[in-house]
Structure 1
Amino acid sequence: MKNFQLSAVRTTGTAPPPTHSTPDSPRADGIRLAHVARRFGSGDAALTALRDIELEVRAGEFLAILGPSGCGKSTLLQIVAGLLAPSAGEVLFRGRPVTEPPEGMVYLFQQYTKSLLPWRSVAGNVALAFEADRRLTRQQVQARASEYLGLVGLAGFEKHYPWQLSGGMQQRVAIARALAAEPRVLLLDEPFSAVDALTRVELQALVLELRRQRGLTVVLVTHDVDEAVFLADRIAILSKRPTVVEEIVETRIPHPRDAIETRELPRFLELRHTLMERLLGREPRP
């Protein structure tokens, strides 16, 4: 584990460029939100959480969604995932409306301790993604689970149970299970907020490296400005409730990204400062 964690702090290679393809193309993994709104309740007690959200996620990009607490970031991601229906508007994935969780899209929850089954081993949790495939023998299921655990630095932990692992290791199991479903799109709902700062840095680097290897489209919901700037190609800034997309910012930070050096780049510091001012409601300095 130690060697993997140290090497994972720096990502290698370059991120895959966003691709623009037709809805019938196998790489048409883009997502479009058209006039999406979400209201809770009815009548005078109705609460409008999202109002007329217009947003495009390009195939192959890493998009972060950033906004103040309580603005509806997780609600928006659940609508993208087909877990929650919009009150108005629609979400299109591969050119088709999302009315239920679509094939090719995986949602990684914030509370990894609740998403893992404590009575199943680490390998058993990962195998949930594909063990229903009757074409696979028991040995093939075990081998495949071990393969994905190796990708996230957990080779040798197959027989452990989630409660025997640290928080960061449990989240690695959740990431391995998500990858085992072989998604084209990975939806991340503040997945690192419950781990310590150093583990968070390691998991961020891990996600960047896996995204590079697999050519994934990634959408991250976060309230952490540094995390958004470090990981994303573009950042969608949400307003206070009722929420709209106020601005889309291109990070323009080169790959590979290093946990220390990237955070010292003038562009990183400039963007971090600007976004913090926006979220805190301060007037930008001359």
Structure 2
Amino acid sequence: MQAKNIVITVLVLALIGAVAMLTLSNKEEATNPNIDDAPVDVLPVEPDGGIGDGAEPLSEVEQAERGNTTLIGASVSGSEIIAHHFGEGEKEILLVGGVHGGYSPSTAKLASELMAYYGTHESEIPSNLTLTIIPNLNSDGATKSGAAGRFNANNVDLNRNFDCDWSATGVWQNREVSGGTAPFSEPEAAALRDYVNTYDPAAAVVWFGAEGKVYPSACEGTPSKASVTLAATFASAAGYPAEAEFDAYAITGDMVNWMAKQGIPAISVLLTTHEGSEFEKNLAGVQAILNAYAE
């Protein structure tokens, strides 16, 4: 009888051990499932715009990080140069005013008026575009009036300081002007260069004064078809004549011609006077370009 009880006890202990081992095995399988059993339609989420649910394209991430304004640099005297952004599209249209400061205050005035307009009419910017406005590239010159206001604090004409047919001595009308000590020697020109190289705008419009005409851009050659088309589009909508090239005197180190060298369609719009912004005309020109670059 005692031997029979011992056998029963051994069998019970063996059964308990087997149940315990089976339970432990099931827990390990639940903790470490076979990778082959994972759902095949689950994709990884990549924050840099690769594949995955909820991932944003890289350009949209950059746009969100950039915000509504970008500090692109500072003048010789330390004044900040700001780019203002409207819209959230991946393709950028760049507008620049105030290159010649107090000599042509109409261009900075126009740029500010365009900023005010698109600040309350952003819906007029096509969804695939961002409109960027740099209203006052030459803030140091803006503090002076007349011919003295054309130049920056180093007495350099910024529109002679870009890397297209650059010369240390340029020409403006019938006088010599400084083009700087080298291409982009001036911080204002270098700031614009760096911005353009970073964001690669699809097209650019730069305002000057005063002639009431629109010109395409070219560097060491004829204007590209895209530049000619851009000039014609703006001029037709704004009511300005479009010219093939500026030939009143030799231009060296020109901003829009440098942009052409970078493969960017760019135009010079010369307002009719140094004081009047001709807002309605130029708004029509800008909107025509935005519509032309819409998807």
TM superposition score normalised by structure 1: 0.29
Question: Greater relative contact order: 1 or 2 (C-alpha under 8 angstroms, separation 6 or more)?
Answer: 1
Greater helix fraction, Structure 1 or Structure 2:
2
Greater strand fraction, Structure 1 or Structure 2:
1
TM superposition score normalised by structure 2: 0.29
